[in-house]
Amino acid sequence: MSAFIKPQTPAAWAILGLAVVIVLLGLPLAYMGAELMFLGGSWYYVIIGIAVTAAGVLMAMGRTMGAMLYLAAVGVTWLWAFWEVGFDGWGLLPRVFGPSILAIAVLLCLPALRRMENAHSTSVREVA
């Protein structure tokens, strides 16, 4: 069987769409973040890029852990942003605004994701 969810409900479609968006954000973060690290710049981006990509992939597989990982990454991002620019509004904007909006979307998807995962594990158990 495929590791990814096959959406049949609007909620599942939303989760898959969100997961794709998160992967699309994570990949360039990881890729460019690696170059930045090699050029002597911040390590934050490559680490967070890998985490976010993994989070997206896990979400696409219907795993709650993906959502939790994304939320954790955003939490780390807030801490890192405060560390890097303090409480400066313009400075915080690119660092936390977009990711936090997405985090809200992820939070909204969380119940559906939980249900899906429970149903999935139930069905797996039944098959077993």
Partner 1 sequence: MSAKSPMLRTLLLGATIIAGTAGSVALAQVPPADQPPGNGNATVSPGTPTPPSDAFSAPSPNAPQSPGVNAANIPDGPPADPSEATPMVDQVTANPAHDDWPGYARDDRATRFSPLDQITPSNIGHLKRAFIYHTGSKPGPGQTNKWAAETTPIKVGDGLYMCSALNDMMRIDPATGKEIWHFHANEKYESIPYTAACKAVVYYTSSTVPEGEHCHHRILEATLDERLIEVDSEDGKVCEGFGWHGMVNLMKGMGESVPGFVAETAPPPIVNGAIITNQEILDGQRRWAPSGVIRGYDAETGRFLWAWDVNRPHEHGEPKEGEHYSRGTPNSWAAMIGDNALGLVYVPTGNSAADYYSAMRSPEENRVSSAVVAIDVKTGEPRWVFQTVHKDVWDYDIGSQPTLMDFTKPDGSTVPALIMPTKRGQTFVLDRRTGDPVLPVEERPAPSPGMVPGDTRSPTQPWSVGMPRLGFAPLKEADMWGMSPIDQLYCRLKYRRAHYVGEFTPPSIDKPWLEYPGYNGGSDWGSVAYDEKTGILIANWNNTPMYDQLVSRKKADKLGLMPVDDPNFKPGGGGAEGAGAMAETPYGIVVSPFWDEYTGMMCNRPPYGMITAIDMHTQKVLWQHPLGSARANGPFGLPTHLPLTIGTPNNGGPVITAGGLIFVAATTDNMIHAFDIHTGKEVWNDVLPGGGQATPMTYEYKGKQYVAIMAGGHHFMMTPVTDDLVVYALDNVN
Q: Which tokens is 122 given? A: 């139930």
Q: Is 102 in the site for partner 1 (CB under 8 A)?
A: yes
Chain-centre distance for alpha carbon 55: 4
Residues in the chain: 128
The identity of residue 56, as a single letter, is: G
Interface pick for partner 1 out of 5, 15, 25, 69 (rule CB under 8 A): 25
The answer to whether 19 touches 117, Cβ cutoff 8 Å, is: no
Residue 41 binds partner 1, judged by CB under 8 A: yes
Nearest distance from C-beta of residue 10 to partner 1, angstroms: 20
Give contact residues for partner 1 (rule: CB under 8 A). Answer: 21, 24-25, 27-29, 31-36, 38-42, 45, 48, 77, 84-85, 90-91, 93-95, 97-99, 101-102
